[in-house]
Structure 1
Amino acid sequence: MNATPPAASDSGSWEASGESSVAVNANAGIISTGPGATIYTAPAVQLPPAQGVTGPRGQSNHNLPRPPSALFVGRDDDVTRLGTALAAESEPVTRILVGLGGVGKTSLTLQYAHRYRAAYTTVWWITADNPDAITAGLAALTSRLLPHLATPATTNALAEWAITWFQTHPGWLVVFDNADDPSHLAPVISQLDTGRHLITSRRTAGWHHLAAPLRLDVLSPNDAAELLMRTAGRHNVSERLVVAELAAELGHLPLALEQAGAYVHNHAISFAAYLERVRRYPARMFATAYAGSTDRRTVARVWRVTLSTIADRDPLAVEILRTLAWFAPDRLPQELITRIDDDILAVDDALALLAGYSMITLARPNLRVHRLVQAVARTADPADPLRTEEAILVARDRAARILLDSLPGGGGSEGESGGASIAVPQWEEWRTLRPHIEAFMDLVPREEDSADIAVVLHETSRFLLDQGHVTQAARYSERALSARERVLGSESPDTLSTRNQLGNIYRAAGDLGRAIPLYERTVADRERVLGADHPDTLSTRNYLANAYRDSGRVDRSIPLYERTLADRERVLGPDHPETLISRNNLASGYRDAGDLPRSISFFESTRDRAEQALGQDHPRTLLFRNNLATAYEAAGDLDRALPLYERTLGDRENLLGATHPDTLTTRNNLAGALQDSGGLHRAIELYERTLTDSERVLGLEHPRTLLVRSNLADALWQSGDREGARSLWESVLADSERLLGDDHPDTLLVRSNLAGALFGTGDAERATELWQSVVADSERVLGTDHPDALLARGNLARVGHSVELSERALADCVRVLGDSHPRTLTARRDLALAHAAAGDPMCAIALCEAAYHASVQVLGADHVRSRAIRSSLAGLLRGLIVRVPPFDGGASRKVLLNGG
């Protein structure tokens, strides 16, 4: 069959040529060809003039697809906002409601349309996801207004008539629901200028020539929980917590909440059971519509359509979305995603496309992804070609590489020597990256950790340790060690590096029972794999010596310090920074052993070498100067300690800043020295300033912040504010037990201080209970001969002035610490006071005199311990029993040292 169009000069008739052909200029019936065919034709339909047809009235002035929802929760303000936006006096008015699929745009619009239907002459609902649907929606109005039309016209003709009707009948509202492309609506809206247009769309971009979009967000946590319970038909108060947890897991997305609530209701399971199912079987749960529902939409189905559209336009956008699924949903730096492809402009376009379909939200310099979008994007589904298991694993590996490449300071730089602290200027970068690392690690099974993931874990554990998050640091380091042993082998240098780091974390946690064996094994392995003189071997040996010192095993720490120093001098040179660290640590060992003259000599030589080799203002030089001041203070030489602290504090403020952690360390120590010298008012001011800065810079829960709070309590006690000190120690103990654990040395120290405060305020019974627990825990955790355990036993003996316990405490001090150690001198004084309390003043005076002379000889007459013993002796000579606080200065306050 062929038909030839008329020539330009013809009148408009058509001619047919060929067997069984026809030619028709206009048709309103059926045409068939072939042998014996019958041809029926009818004239074109003539529709009545639109302006003469009245619109629907009363309850029939709409075609809204559903009644208002009985489950409409938490959107009243949004309905009001929408009504205000549509109430502008000028016409036409176009408003565009945009948001993620499933967020409730259609439900909100439907609720508004029902609530304000009487305000419009006609409310007409059109599905607008494609041009044909828009045309059909307009044509449906004509069919409604002309129900007795005997012969149907074409859909296009009916739609054109509807447009004419809208133009001649003002006061209407037309809803274009689920519009996908602004260009599909523009030709229609441009002709409709006598009413209101309300558009809903997942797309946020491309509407600027029509109107500024109004964004609809997810429900508030409370409203989300309410919707979940209403849908499930339950309001059990006891389930509130798990309901809130489930609502958060579903990202407070209305569609997901209704889907979950209906499942809970129809399957008669608990909210907790649904939460377990959605975590265990995400693909199936996201794709399951509830039984009996006429609405077959589910989270997976709604977003699959959107993802297919995005994939057709830009496959890179889908790759990016699968990668984003492995990070935290909020505050993700956009610059991280630029690492996904070398073509930055292509990445920009892909992100814009994802944002245009509400799959992400761009809020430069960050972006945000709904947590359920992430959950679907990283969940394999055999029925979805965009979510194959292979594609998802590729995205996971890509996310790991992005994290590795984004590590502040460069991924994989795992230097250990001289302390492995993260540079302070990098802290903010780490804090930005940390939630995304944590989200990634929570999603990846431990047994699937790769070499890249192990590096991220290792480096993050270093930052967490710096920030005082010891428990999480240990968890990450243990996981990194497991991954490296599996992937690289137990003797790989990287594996040994992680094992060394794990030892550092255990030591910081006060878990010397695990730290020391781990260090010992790592030293042996490094000596075998790397050699005895390798810098990393020497580093671990240094850390092992630190752990021995912490455990009170001076007989093992000092020889190891001395050996490591000799080796570093030989291998690295006498003025190498790591050699100077070894000298510093050996000096600290002598200080803790009570050999103050040798400690001071080593600290002084270390400072002098550092000033010559590194310079007067080098951070390491200031570190050694701070530690030298602590040795002067321990020796009671405040005339040298105070000026050195003052100078070091000024230099650190100038070089590092007033709130740098090292500056805060020196300010804390200066406050302690002022406290010992009688400058109590200024000491309290410095402690308070240091505490404020520590809380802001390090955080309320950092171990150093807790120590400064404890030191402030000690100063308040000395100033006479007994209740203030007691209350502060109570709060510090609660925080220490919660953050560090009951057995951490710092926790035991604070518990001992609180016991002293309780004793001093008359609560001897509770004080005794606390000291008994300190003795038991110190002996169990640190060992019976640890200096802190000796101190705890001494404090317990002093509570009851027990001669027997005091003699045992003195004997232990002499055996473990030596006859002239400062704590041994105090133990002699305590034994004297016990004899006095037992009614033997002559013996008490003799013992106290001996203790005083020994203290003057070792520490000097002006040392705080010498003064305390002299005060006790004076009281005995006056025939009085002097009851000194069971925790003298130096026992309760902790000086902060720098160095590795």
Structure 2
Amino acid sequence: MSGARTPVGPTEKGAGRQTVTISFAGFNRAWAAWIGDRLERRGLRVVYLRWDSPSGIPLEDLLRDLKLAEGRILIVVSEWYFQLGPRTHEEWNAALRAVVGPDPSRFAAVSVTTSAVPAASAVLAAVDLTNMGAEEAERRLLDRLDLPAQPQSEPAHDARRGPRFPAAMPEVWGGVPRRNTRFTGRETLLNDAYHLLQGAEPGAGVLTLHGMSGVGKTQTAAEYVYRFGSEYDVVWWVNAEKRVGYRRLLAELAPKLGLATGQEYGERLRAVRDSLRRGDPYARWLLVLDGADEPDQIWDLVPTGPGHVLITSRNPEWTEHNSRLLEVPVYQRYESVAFIRRRAPRLTEAEADQLAEALEDLPLLLDQTAGWLNDSDLSVDDYIGLLEGGIDQDVVKVSADFPLAFQTAWSILLNKLRETVPESVDLLRLCTFFAPGFVPVRLLKEMPHDELPEQVAGLLNDPLLWNKAINQLRQYSVVRLESHDTTADDPSATGESLYLHRMVHQIVGEDMPAEDREEFITVVRQALAAADPRRPTDPDLWPAYAEIVPHLKYADVLNSTDPAIQRLVFNCLRYMYFSGEYRAGIKLGERALATWRALLGEAHPRIWELTYHYANLLRAVGDYARTEAIERVAVDHLRQERGPQDLEHLRASSGLAADLRGLGRYDEAFQVSQWTLAAYRELLGEQDSRTLNAQNNLGATLVLLGRYEEALESDRRTLEARRQLLRARHPWTLYSETSYAIDLRLLGRYGEAESVQTKNVREQLRVLGAKNPYTLKARHNLACCHYRSGDREQAGKLFADVLEQSERVLGETNPDTLRYAVSQSCFTREHGDIDQARELSEATIARYEVMLAEGHPFVAGARANHALILRGVGERDHAHVLVEQALTDMTAAVGPDHPWTLGCAVNASALRSLVGDPESAAELSGTTAARAAEVLGRTHPLTLSARIARAADLRSLRDGRQAEKLEQEALSDLAATLGPQHVHTISARARSRPFWDFEPQTT
């Protein structure tokens, strides 16, 4: 960077100096920015000049060119400044004596390092800025440049906050890999990344470094952090390869931000994202998502706000998720040469060029090869000869994923490792049965060592041998040693993780004898089983499961017949179900069923247990027809094989009842649920958790049948028993409390329902977090409670937020999401943009029609709601036809006395009146009011709506006397039941025709 030159003023103390040129190594950009800001505040003009030292140009010539810069030249002295090239200290001493020595007044310097620098740099008279605060550093800088201490002008307000003092670490720092002191090049890439992020609009500072494996994306991101991290108050690095792990690691930022949350990571995650979005307490934050190769899995969890997000990924699809892309290519040849010579100083420039060409400039391969080649007496020519076919090509299987040079180079490196520390190869091979990336090797050290193979036991039991193996792998850049806990500064404080690159992981896995493979995979499986917390329903233990799950595939746990390993699979499936990780759980369940059927046989007991967990996950995404078929096979087999009172048969029967509920076959579901509950009570008693689960399921069925009073009593008993048997904050207890609040609301007891649900939501947020499916259900019911109580503002915010979160977490076609979409559409119809309501309603109906059979009550109900939208936009005839069809379908689906049918009838009577058929409208509203009073009671809100509608229809028939009598009675009951100022009472008093909104219930 440079600008127009002006004459340099005198250099004597106190004289004016208009321009200062700051010369700095790229690594020290933060120091240059801070120094420049301090000088500009005192009226100086600052020119920034990044120092480069191409090896082909003599140092003396470069320093003479530097003297052409404007004004006083201020050099930021650091080890980086003198290492570029690379140059020896002897070269530097000679150049400094020749160029700076005769004219020292043109130069000044500050030192920002404690490392050794060339002796002749003393001619620069650098003042030390290390190990001190910003005020003292500024005082020394100004004194060195003969400048007054007071700024010429300070900004009138904080619109321009200067750069942070580089020696001051960010207030919050976590998870960042150690700095790679051999990092070379990438200057343009780093500068582009910096300017793209700094120039982004607030909320849009998201940048993805993308490129092939081994190209150095992670190292580039880490260098960005160290180079520019001082400009942020918060720097947080997370491994983002898997959604579950990413959520956990991001949640761990909560206590560092000083957020008051509980221990559960769902609650912490919500608080962190909200804090970053608001920029409170820190607006200058940097979040690094490393290895985010599946954007569709985590894009919805990428924070927005005033800070920056830096992503590393092999996947360029991040551009579809509001991220800028910056490609990380292989090294340019000069970068390769410089890197090799720094890594292997014994090699000449020509040899480094030769090696770089052979290794195709791939940074990972350059790092590993140059590292051990420097310690070897093998010549570069001989090594390249090996690469070109001088060794057995069968040592490593050829894979299309890697260049041939990479495979061959790895064969050579593995041989080197075997010759020096053979245990390092054993450790490396153990690591390949974990997922690539961060390998939690501490799990190996924490597992019982009683029955380990001798070869592995020696490695795990001998700390010296263990450290020797790890150091050997680190020396050749095969692995990085990282802290397992992103909040710890010292890896040894919490146990360590090795970072194993994906390319290394794959190629080592391919190059393994069969006997070693069997031995090592067994050890890793045992380590994972030993790490199983064995309580997958406990949210406090979900972080442990989130850590285990990514490794199941690589340890091939499904091909193990060990009961402990199989129990781990079941527990992981249950964790995925309860935490809402449905899609990942379904994939695991599908693979497990296929593998275990072949391994164990179709009728093995494990198959039926697996079927139960798999069906739960499928049911959670609305695949009811498929789950019914699966559960019927299980029920029929288990009844015939073990009898109807068998616990496995009862569990399968409970699953079948849930499928029937999903399919809208509520009477059948009730029969199965009732029988199952009776059997559990007989076998296990009233207080067993399985009995209470069955009672919970019966309550859900009663709600769907419209038998709200019975549901309330059933759910009340379940809630009280779960509070005693489990605990008040157990997820199942909280779920029962939500069910109880829903029952109260459906009975029209809005005040009680809102009180219970408000308390419940606070607990859900604390225990499960805002995005857990249980919490979303609770928050949705709270929105309904607000709406029914007349608090439209709170209801509207909650409806919109719950739908948005559910779409992101569960997907747009999930049954829960569709329930929330129905509510949002109804609310928007009355209090928002009716065109948006129509669009959402049409999309919801279309999804229901794909998911559910024609005639399903949910389809009929959604169409009844849509008729109200059509009425609102003036399409009366279309609305009339649609609501009549909905009434017919709902009657066929659930019977004439179901509250849903009665609600459809209230709407249908209104449309009949609107299209000019007052006689038919009055007949329907009269029948509806009588049935509602009988089924729900005289003062239930739906009955009151029907009575008000009946009065309106009588008035249309000019029976004013009877209409007035009915209306006054209904208004009196409304005021007594809901209050004289309730929105429904006020609306009825104004003679606004009442309507009914269909609300799908949980199945």
The TM-score bracket by the shorter chain reads 0.5 to 0.7
- By how many angstroms is 1:661 displaced? 2.3
| Matches of 1:337 and 1:508, distance apart in 2 | 37
* One-letter amino acid of the counterpart of residue 242, structure 1: H
Matches of 2:682 and 2:423 in 1, distance apart?
A: 56
Give runs of aligned pairs for residues 374-389 of structure 1, distance below 5 A: 376=504, 379-380=507-508
Work out whether residues 210 and 328 of structure 2, in 8 Å CA contact, stay in contact via their aligned partners in 1.
Answer: no
- Which one of the candidate residues 536, 552, 559 is aligned to 2:664? 552
Q: Distance in 2 between matches of 1:313 and 1:78?
A: 43
Contact 1:310/1:354 (<8 A) preserved: no
Mapping for residues 204-603 of structure 1, pairs under 5 Å: 217-218=178-179, 226=186, 229=189, 241-243=209-211, 247-248=216-217, 289-291=356-358, 298-299=367-368, 302=371, 319-325=426-432, 326-327=434-435, 329-330=437-438, 332=440, 334=442, 336-339=444-447, 341-342=449-450, 346-353=461-468, 360-361=481-482, 363-364=491-492, 366-372=494-500, 376=504, 379-380=507-508, 390-391=515-516, 394-409=519-534, 422-424=536-538, 427-438=539-550, 440-441=551-552, 443=554, 456-527=568-639, 530=642, 532-564=644-676, 578=690, 581-582=693-694, 585-586=697-698, 588-595=700-707, 599=710
- Is contact 2:811–2:817 with CA below 8 Å preserved after alignment? yes
**What is the CA RMSD across the aligned residues, in angstroms?**
5.4
Partner of 1:209: none
Separation in 1, partners of 2:922, 2:642: 60
- What SS is found at the alignment partner of 2:495? strand
CA distance in 2, matches of 1:738, 1:110: 48
* Counterpart in the other structure of 1:750: 820
Q: Among the aligned pairs, what percent are the same residue?
A: 22
State the match for 1:851 in structure 2: 928
Cα distance in 1 for residues equivalent to 2:542 and 2:587: 18
Tell me the CA shift for residue 512 of structure 1. Answer: 0.7
Gaps in structure 2 of 5+ consecutive residues: 1-22, 34-76, 94-117, 123-175, 198-205, 224-311, 313-326, 335-353, 376-412, 451-456, 475-479, 483-489, 957-987
How far apart, CA to CA, are the structure 2 residues paired with 1:736 and 1:216? Answer: 34
The normalised TM-score by structure 2 is 0.53
- Cα distance between partner residues in 1 of 2:746 and 2:358: 77
* 1:810 Cα offset (Å): 2.6
Cα deviation, 1:868-889, whole Å, max 9, x if unaligned, reads: 323333444565996567554x
1:209-229 Cα deviation digits (max 9, x unpaired): xxxxxx992469xx9994695
Shift of 1:768: 3.3
Q: Which runs of 5+ in 1 are unaligned?
A: 1-69, 81-107, 125-168, 174-214, 268-286, 410-420, 608-622, 628-647
2:10 match? none
Q: Judge conservation of contact 1:659–1:697 (CA < 8 Å) in 2.
A: yes
Distance (Å, rounded) in 2 between the aligned partners of 1:226 and 1:686: 58
Alignment partners' CA distance in 2, 1:721 and 1:784: 36
Alpha carbons of structure 1 residues 231 and 804: separation in structure 2 relative to 1, 3 Å: closer
The one-letter amino acid paired with 1:741 is G
Q: How far apart, CA to CA, are the structure 2 residues paired with 1:261 and 1:767?
A: 45
Change (3 A) 1:798 1:261: closer
**Structure 1: distance between partners of 2:735 and 2:814:** 20
The answer as to whether partners of 2:440 and 2:498 remain within 8 angstroms in 1 is no
Structure 2 counterpart of 1:830, from 902, 907, 920: 907
Report the TM-score, using the length of structure 1 for normalisation: 0.58
Name the structure 2 match of 1:632.
none
CA distance in 1, matches of 2:769, 2:620: 17
1:668-702 per-residue CA deviation (whole Å, 9 max, x = no partner) reads 45655676788867865764554454344323322
CA contact (8 A) 2:696 2:718 kept: no
Q: Which amino acid aligns with 1:299?
A: Q
Give, in angstroms, the shift of residue 251 of structure 1. Answer: 8.7
CA gap of 1:662–1:455, structure 2 versus 1, over 3 A, is: closer
Q: CA deviation at 1:840?
A: 3.6
1:867 counterpart (944, 947, 954): 944
- Give the match for residue 741 of structure 1: 811
Is the Cα–Cα contact under 8 Å of residues 756 and 767 in structure 1 kept in the other structure? yes
Q: Distance in 1 between matches of 2:645 and 2:370?
A: 63
In 2, Cα distance between equivalents of 1:225 and 1:445? 40
1:111-122 paired onto structure 2 within 5 Å: 111=80, 113-114=82-83
**CA offsets per residue over residues 569-627 of structure 1, 9 Å max, x none?**
77667887645654654454344224567x46xx86xx7xxxxxxxxxxxxxxx66146
Aligned letter for 1:757? F
Tell me whether 824-833 or 510-519 shows the greater mean CA deviation: 824-833
1:814 and 2:891 equivalent?
Answer: yes
Cα 1:792–1:571 shift into 2, 3 Å: same
Cα distance change of structure 1 residues 301 and 171 upon mapping to structure 2, 3 Å threshold: closer
- Equivalent in the alignment of 1:797: 867
Instruction: Give the direction of change, closer, same or farther, for the CA distance of 1:541–1:736 in structure 2 (3 Å limit).
Output: same
- The alignment status of 1:892 with 2:861, answered yes or no, reads no
Which aligned pairs between 1:598-747 and structure 2 lie closer than 5 A? 599=710, 625-626=717-718, 648=720, 659-669=729-739, 672=742, 687=757, 690-722=760-792, 725-747=795-817
SS at match of 1:379: helix
Q: Is the 8 A contact 1:657 1:663 kept in 2?
A: yes
Task: Give the 3-state SS of the residue equivalent to 1:371 in structure 2.
Answer: strand
Distance 1:396 1:746, change over 3 A: same
CA radius of gyration, larger in: 1
Whether the 8 Å contact between 2:545 and 2:572 is mirrored in structure 1 is no
Structure 1 partner of 2:351: none
**Aligned-partner residue type, residue 547 of structure 2:** P
**CA distance 1:748–1:862, change in 2 (3 Å):** same
Give SS of 1:820's match.
coil
Residue-by-residue CA offset, 1:321-378 (whole Å, 9 max, x unaligned): 5424425655838355232634798254444445666553562453344434685366
- 1:705-726 Cα distance to aligned partner (Å, 9 max, x none): 2223322333343454545544
Q: 2:618·2:627 contact (CA, 8 Å) conserved in 1? A: yes
How many residues matched?
633
